[in-house]
Amino acid sequence: MIVEERYDLGKLVTFIPNRRIPIHNWFYFKEGFSRDFVSMILNKFKIDRGKWVLDPFCGVGTTLLTCKEYGVNSIGIDVSPLMVFISNVKVKEYDLKKLKEDAQELFSHRIKKTDIENSEVSSFTRRFFPPRVLKEILFFREKIQEAVSEENRGFFTLGLMDSAIKCSYIYKDGGLLKIVERPLPPLRKFYRRRIKRMLRDLENTELQECFAEAITGDARRMEKIEDESFDLIVTSPPYLNKIEYTKVYRVEYELFMPNVRFGQIRSYLGIDIKKMEKGDKYGNLPPVARAYFIDMEKAISEMYRVLKPGGQLVLVVAGGVFPTGVVESDYITARIIGEYEFEVDRIVVVNRRVATRDRVIKIGEARESIIIATKKG
Ligand SMILES: C[S@@+](CC[C@H](N)C(=O)[O-])C[C@H]1O[C@@H](n2cnc3c(N)ncnc32)[C@H](O)[C@@H]1O
């Protein structure tokens, strides 16, 4: 197995390049990778029209949307209904004329102030908005249901979700939601501009007709996916020992996905330490890391099952930092992959960060790497 250092690719495994790309930037997702990364992988493995790609941890659908540019069919899986919703809004094929008519209808109404005291919005969520903004959000949320055709409601809801966060006091600080009071733009104006931009994005982006869909599910048990059905899997599982970032989306869930019980939504891999099997082979690692790799084994076994013989697996992983030292996720994951009938072609190290304890004591270096493997056969 080759270990290669390509720090020039470091930015590609982050979401940063997507911030300038239409549709990809409809929702900012710090934990995502970039369109350019997926595009590089599709080109490298000559994945073209008619082929099938799976992203079993699909996040905001970066893989799916990029595949749509190339006419490549794709399926995404994510445990988070919010991520699945965002992915599907981004890859949907819209009737632009109908969208424009719906937009005109939506913004033609005078805002009637909703009574927030009697609404279902929790005191947790209320703290992040001045009452006038929250009233407007609730007004538009209701109007979308009344005035917009059913097939376009997701489009307008995603625009409203993004506008609501930008017109709030929310500051997402790692795994925490903080309140930072500041002058806020008027929501209606902001939202209207946002929808205009989203419409322009659709006009200026050329996507192909092909299959693209995200489904809610667990990468450790992909029952709905048939054996040997994909030419390529490209994905980035949640990183080891990363903060529980689902908490920072609590406001989006409460306002826009009220039917989802938020308490049950978590980023999954390695979370169930209590349920961890005894006598595993990672005995010398911290419990969180052991639980993580046991879950990773399940996900990789599923990825092996659904990949066609000769198909490629491309995984982005990062080292975990613990007080006792750095856990080298790339080597351990590559070893797990090698336990199946995979040829691990290479590990490409793309980022390296100094890991510290108590902020000053250097305990090692955490690598972020791309693992590339081919299913034998
Ligand atoms: C690092 S993010 C992937 C980001 C994605 N590459 C993108 O560009 O948006 C990991 C994703 O895995 C999801 N996830 C966590 N555990 C999961 C599981 N067991 N099955 C499926 N998805 C899971 C999280 O909700 C999160 O969206």
My answer on whether 18 and 38 are in the same domain is yes
User: Which residue did the predictor score with more confidence, 52 or 262?
Assistant: 52
| In a shared domain, residues 199 and 228 | no
Alpha helices in 108-226 (DSSP H): 123-126, 131-147, 153-166, 187-204
The answer on pLDDT for 269 being more than 80 is: no
pLDDT tens for residues 183-197? 999 999 999 999 999
Cβ of 151 closer than 6 Å to ligand 1, yes or no, is: no
Tokens coding 369: 């790497």
Q: Residue 277 above 80 pLDDT?
A: no
Range of the domain at 116: 96-204
User: What is residue 272's predicted lDDT score, i.e. its pLDDT?
Assistant: 63
pLDDT, residue 275, reads: 64
Same domain, 183 and 51: no
Count structural domains, the chain.
Answer: 2
Q: Are residues 196 and 244 in the same domain?
A: no
DSSP string, 22-71: TTGGGS--TT---HHHHHHHHHHTT--TT-EEEETT-TTTHHHHHHHHHT
Q: Are residues 34 and 121 in the same domain?
A: no
**Residue 34 Cα: closest atom of ligand 1:** 8
Has residue 116 got a pLDDT over 90? no
Residue nearest to atom 19 of ligand 1 (CA): 218
287 and 368 inside one domain: yes
Q: Is the CB of 83 under 6 A from ligand 1?
A: yes
**CATH label of the domain that carries residue 35:** 3.40.50.150
Residue 210 lies in a domain: no
pLDDT 10s digits, 120-139: 899 999 999 999 999 999 99
Query: Is 215 part of any domain?
Result: no
Q: What is the pLDDT of residue 273?
A: 63
- Whether 209 is in a domain gets the answer no
Whether the pLDDT of residue 294 is over 80: the answer is: yes
Same domain? 184 vs 244: no
Cβ-count burial of 354 within 10 angstroms (0-12 exposed, 13-18 middle, 19+ buried)? exposed
Is any atom of ligand 1 closer than 6 Å to the C-beta of 62? yes
Judge if the beta carbon of residue 253 lies within 6 A of ligand 1: no
**225 and 369 fall within a common domain:** yes
**Across 96-114, average pLDDT:** 91
Q: Are 352 and 282 part of one and the same domain? A: yes
Task: Give residue-wise pLDDT tens across range 219-258.
Answer: 999 999 999 999 999 999 998 876 666 778 899 999 999 8
* 161: in domain: yes
Does residue 321 sit in the same domain as residue 341?
A: yes
Residue 32 in contact with ligand 1 by CB distance below 6 A = yes
- The answer on 371 and 234 residing in a single domain is yes
Q: Ligand 1 within 6 A of 159 CB?
A: no
Q: How would you classify the pairing of strands 361-375 and 307-318?
A: antiparallel
86 lines ligand 1 (CB under 6 A): no
Ligand 1 atom nearest residue 80's Cα? 25
CB count, 10 Å around CB of 20? 9
| Residue from 67, 79, 240, 272 whose mutation best tests the ligand 1 pocket (most atoms within 8 A of CB) | 79
Q: Which residue has a Cα nearest atom 3 of ligand 1?
A: 59
Q: Which residues contact 42 (CB under 8 A, 6 or more apart)?
A: 48, 53, 66, 67, 70, 72, 232
Return the pLDDT at 206. Answer: 95
Which atom of ligand 1 is closest in space to residue 18's alpha carbon? 8
From atom 1 of ligand 1, which residue's Cα is the shortest distance away?
A: 238
Task: Let me know if residue 158 belongs to a domain.
Answer: yes
Average pLDDT over the chain reads: 92
- Ligand 1 centroid – CA 164 distance (Å): 24
Please check whether residues 198 and 230 belong to one and the same domain: no
Tell me, yes or no, whether 239 lies in a domain: yes
Give a yes or no: residue 41 inside a domain. Answer: yes
Q: Ligand 1 pocket, 78 CB below 6 A? A: yes
Is 199 a domain residue?
yes
